[in-house]
């Protein structure tokens, strides 16, 4: 399986994402819940009011035995009693209009005489009332659903109620009464209820948000602290491993130097003395190289280095030579594919060489002395892109994320300190570049370094 690590990955900011997404969700939930609750409240209050009105009208209808007025022929017989009854309904408190229908839906009385004897069908609400059900709708007079819903500015809210009227036996519907109510007291109660719902929701949500924010903030801090502790613990383990490695690595050249120095003391031949002295210098350089690596790790940016325009291809060629010097490349094939006329990058020659030496040395070590290293350089959109590909062991998927962590090594003590890639990363980042790796276990690895060309401001 091909494993990849993009070095540009940013850590997940728990607190910031909670602040944004949590805040938005809580605001959305508050608004939706408050709207639903206030609608439910106002619908229920209007319905309660309509049921009371229905009870009132039906009881007068029953007590005054007026159901017969709904038979249109009776109008002529008792006009005064008829008029009186319907007038009572139209002048009930908060009623602004009243229309009386017979069982066919024809208007038999209205406070607007122009409507009398007309039949306005289809009217689903009236049909519902004539089938024995109470029908209620309410609205604002500024937003009429029907032409008759237009009221003056003094009517902010109305309820349209269709009430079925039953005969004296209570078995049959004889007609229906439609009343428009302007329930100002009810409206005040609805407004007050709605206000309380909104205040309650906003206070509750604010309390919920601040509590959660506090908990998430604490959790975020705890996670960061634990991560920090883990890194420290890993460093300590690494330092222990490294100390053993350094002791071993430095000890070998020191022992060799001691041996050569003792040999010089007993040697007369000046040619041999010269050779032993050269050996001592070589071993001393090896020991110094190990010490330098550690120094660079501990203070990567304070190391004196001259930043200048430098050719990436020259640094690559030098690094290949240096790697050859450290580890003779008997069975290693080197393939160079360097783009000619690649513009220079800004950086310290020594540091850039160190980047490539580390990557090439790792590649050589991963191939256990046999294989092919391909070194490629390209100019891509203002960046020098260097690819170092090997045919070595490849990297386990679970190791990929740890590669650039200091002291991460899979090598035996004395063979690796686990600092190489961390140093590479520090240097590349210092010059505004990035590094990523692609690897397939058993098939090889590819390290891709991207450095901005000198003069490229878009780093």
- Select from 24-32, 63-71, 147-155, 359-367 the region that touches ligand ADP (CB under 6 A): 359-367
Q: H or E segment at 57?
A: helix 23-63
Taking the least distance from each CB to ligand ADP, the nearer of 259 and 414 is 414
Distance CA 226, CA 46 (A): 58
Residue whose CB is nearest to ligand ADP in the complex, by number: 420
Residue 293 interacts with ligand ADP (CB under 6 A): yes or no: no
User: Considering the complex, what minimum distance in angstroms separates the CB of residue 25 from ligand ADP?
Assistant: 42
How crowded is the C-beta side of 65, counted as CA atoms within 13 Å? 1
Question: What is the residue whose two structure tokens read 């690796």?
Answer: 416
User: Considering the complex, what minimum distance in angstroms separates the CB of residue 452 from ligand ADP?
Assistant: 24
Binding-residue pattern over the window 317 to 356 for ligand ADP, x denoting contact by CB under 6 A: ----------------------------------------
Taking the least distance from each CB to ligand ADP, the nearer of 42 and 445 is 445
User: Considering the complex, what minimum distance in angstroms separates the CB of residue 370 from ligand ADP?
Assistant: 14
Instruction: Give the residue, chosen from 165, 352, 355, 366, that forms a contact with ligand ADP under the rule CB under 6 A.
Output: 366
Instruction: Give the residue, chosen from 53, 110, 362, 426, that forms a contact with ligand ADP under the rule CB under 6 A.
Output: 362
- 22-27, long-range: CB < 8 A, 24+ apart: 22/209, 22/212, 22/213, 22/216, 23/209, 26/205, 26/208, 26/209, 27/205
User: Considering the complex, what minimum distance in angstroms separates the CB of residue 390 from ligand ADP?
Assistant: 5
C-beta separation of 281 from 315 below 8 A: no
Taking the least distance from each CB to ligand ADP, the nearer of 231 and 281 is 231
User: Considering the complex, what minimum distance in angstroms separates the CB of residue 353 from ligand ADP?
Assistant: 15
Taking the least distance from each CB to ligand ADP, the nearer of 253 and 416 is 416
User: Considering the complex, what minimum distance in angstroms separates the CB of residue 35 from ligand ADP?
Assistant: 58
- Nearest CA among 348, 347, 351, 353 for reference residue 314: 353
Taking the least distance from each CB to ligand ADP, the nearer of 377 and 422 is 422
C-beta separation of 206 from 30 below 8 A: no
Taking the least distance from each CB to ligand ADP, the nearer of 106 and 410 is 410
User: Considering the complex, what minimum distance in angstroms separates the CB of residue 233 from ligand ADP?
Assistant: 18
User: Considering the complex, what minimum distance in angstroms separates the CB of residue 392 from ligand ADP?
Assistant: 5
Instruction: Give the residue, chosen from 183, 408, 428, 450, that forms a contact with ligand ADP under the rule CB under 6 A.
Output: 408
- Select from 51-59, 140-148, 154-162, 403-411 the region that touches ligand ADP (CB under 6 A): 403-411
- Residue 122 preceded by cis peptide, ω within 30: yes
- Select from 41-49, 131-139, 169-177, 391-399 the region that touches ligand ADP (CB under 6 A): 391-399
The full DSSP string for 75-134 is HHHSHHHHHHHHHHHHTSTTEEEEEEEETTSBEEEESSGGGTT-B----HHHHHHHTT--
User: Considering the complex, what minimum distance in angstroms separates the CB of residue 258 from ligand ADP?
Assistant: 26
**Torsion from C-alpha of 338, 340, 343, 347, nearest 10 degrees:** 40
Taking the least distance from each CB to ligand ADP, the nearer of 176 and 395 is 395
Binding residues among 419-448 for ligand ADP as defined by CB under 6 A: 419-422, 445
Cα→Cα distances 225→177, 230, 238, 355, 364, Å: 74, 9, 20, 31, 38
- Select from 76-84, 261-269, 281-289, 401-409 the region that touches ligand ADP (CB under 6 A): 401-409
Phi, psi of 154 (to 5 degrees): -80, 0
Phi, psi of 197 (to 5 degrees): -60, -45
Binding residues among 142-201 for ligand ADP as defined by CB under 6 A: none
Taking the least distance from each CB to ligand ADP, the nearer of 166 and 334 is 334
Distance CA 438, CA 446 (A): 5
44 in the Ramachandran plot: left (φ > 0), alpha (ψ -120 to 50) or beta? alpha
53-54-59 Cα angle (round to 5): 100
Paired sense of beta strands 345-348 and 383-390, if any: unpaired
Instruction: Give the residue, chosen from 164, 253, 418, 433, that forms a contact with ligand ADP under the rule CB under 6 A.
Output: 418
Taking the least distance from each CB to ligand ADP, the nearer of 310 and 358 is 358
User: Considering the complex, what minimum distance in angstroms separates the CB of residue 445 from ligand ADP?
Assistant: 4
Distance CA 456, CA 459 (A): 7
Distance CA 394, CA 440 (A): 5
Binding residues among 294-313 for ligand ADP as defined by CB under 6 A: none
Distance CA 379, CA 453 (A): 8
Instruction: Give the residue, chosen from 61, 395, 449, 453, that forms a contact with ligand ADP under the rule CB under 6 A.
Output: 395
- Residue ranges in contact with ligand ADP by CB under 6 A: 358, 362-363, 366, 390, 392-393, 395, 403, 408-411, 416-422, 445
């Amino acid at each position: 399986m091909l494993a990849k690590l993009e070095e540009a990955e940013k850590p997940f900011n728990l607190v910031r994402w909670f602040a944004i997404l949590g805040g938005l969700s809580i605001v959305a939930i508050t608004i939706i819940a408050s709207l639903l609750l206030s609608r439910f409240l106002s619908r229920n209050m209007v319905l309660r009011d309509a049921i009371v009105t229905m009870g009132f009208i039906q009881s007068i209808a029953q007590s005054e035995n007026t159901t017969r007025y709904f038979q249109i022929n009776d109008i002529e017989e008792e006009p005064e009693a008829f008029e009186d009854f319907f007038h009572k309904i139209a002048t009930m408190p908060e009623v602004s209009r009243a229309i009386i229908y017979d069982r066919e839906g024809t208007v038999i009385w209205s406070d607007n005489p122009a409507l009398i004897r007309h039949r306005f069908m289809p009217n689903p609400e009236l049909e519902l009332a004539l089938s024995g059900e109470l029908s209620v709708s309410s609205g604002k007079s500024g937003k009429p659903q029907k032409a008759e819903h237009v009221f003056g500015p003094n009517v902010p809210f109305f309820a349209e109620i269709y009430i079925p009227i039953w005969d004296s036996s209570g078995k049959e519907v004889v007609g229906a009464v439609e009343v428009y109510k302007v329930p100002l007291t009810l409206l005040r109660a609805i407004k007050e209820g709605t206000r309380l719902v909104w205040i309650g929701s906003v206070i509750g949500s604010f309390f919920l948000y601040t509590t959660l924010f506090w908990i998430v903030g604490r959790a975020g801090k705890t996670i960061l602290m634990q991560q920090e502790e883990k890194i420290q613990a890993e460093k300590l383990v690494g330092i222990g491993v490294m100390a053993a490695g350094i002791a071993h690595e430095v000890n070998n050249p020191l022992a060799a130097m001691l041996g050569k120095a003792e040999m010089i003391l007993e040697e007369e031949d000046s040619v041999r003395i010269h050779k032993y002295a050269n050996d001592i210098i070589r071993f001393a350089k090896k020991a110094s190289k190990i010490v330098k690596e550690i120094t660079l790790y501990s203070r990567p940016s304070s190391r004196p280095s001259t930043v200048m325009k430098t050719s990436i291809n020259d640094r690559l060629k030098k690094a290949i030579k240096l790697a050859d010097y450290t580890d003779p490349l008997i069975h290693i094939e080197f393939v160079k594919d360097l783009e000619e006329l690649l513009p220079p990058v800004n950086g310290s020659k020594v540091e850039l060489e160190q980047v490539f030496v580390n990557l090439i040395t790792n590649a050589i070590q991963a191939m256990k002395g046999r294989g092919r290293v391909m070194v490629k350089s390209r100019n891509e959109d203002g960046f020098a892109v260097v690819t170092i590909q090997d045919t070595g062991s490849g990297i386990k998927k679970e190791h990929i994320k740890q590669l650039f962590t200091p002291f991460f090594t899979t090598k035996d003590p004395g063979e690796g300190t686990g600092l190489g890639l961390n140093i590479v990363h520090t240097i590349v980042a210092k010059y505004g570049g990035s590094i990523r790796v692609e690897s397939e276990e058993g098939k090889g690895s590819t390290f891709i370094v991207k450095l901005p060309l000198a003069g490229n401001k878009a780093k």
